[in-house]
Amino acid sequence: MNKLRQSFRRKKDVYVPEASRPHQWQTDEEGVRTGKCSFPVKYLGHVEVDESRGMHICEDAVKRLKATGTLIEPFLTYAV
């Protein structure tokens, strides 16, 4: 019975100290913190979602955009 009760308890988040994080991420983290990184993206359009985060939410939103055919074509404007 004790095992069952423990399974319902909320588990504590495990803190990972910075020294034990993978070294391959350190340069990425520094770039993000100093503002020296870029993320090329493609604007597909907009759709209203029920929740604010989660990979499945994003996947469903992209599926809905593709299904309705309301994808925005990229365009460039030149200022002279």
Give a yes or no: residue 39 inside a domain.
yes
Looking at per-residue pLDDT, the higher value among 47 and 76 belongs to 47
Give a yes or no: residue 79 inside a domain.
no
pLDDT digits (tens, 9 = 90+) for 60-72: 988 888 888 766 6
78 alpha-carbon distance from chain centroid? 31
Q: Is 26 left (phi over 0), alpha (psi -120 to 50) or beta?
A: alpha
| pTM score | 0.40
Total structural domains in the chain? 1
Distances, alpha carbon 71 to alpha carbons 19, 26, 67, in Å: 44, 36, 9
pLDDT digits (tens, 9 = 90+) for 3-43: 777 777 767 767 766 666 666 666 777 888 888 877 777 77
Structure confidence at residue 80 (pLDDT): 43
Give the up-direction half-sphere exposure of residue 10: CA atoms within 13 A in the CB hemisphere: 2
Give a yes or no: residue 76 inside a domain.
no
| Structural domain harbouring 48 | 9-68
Rounded to 5°, the CA angle 68-69-75 comes to 140
Give a yes or no: residue 1 inside a domain.
no
Give a yes or no: residue 3 inside a domain.
no
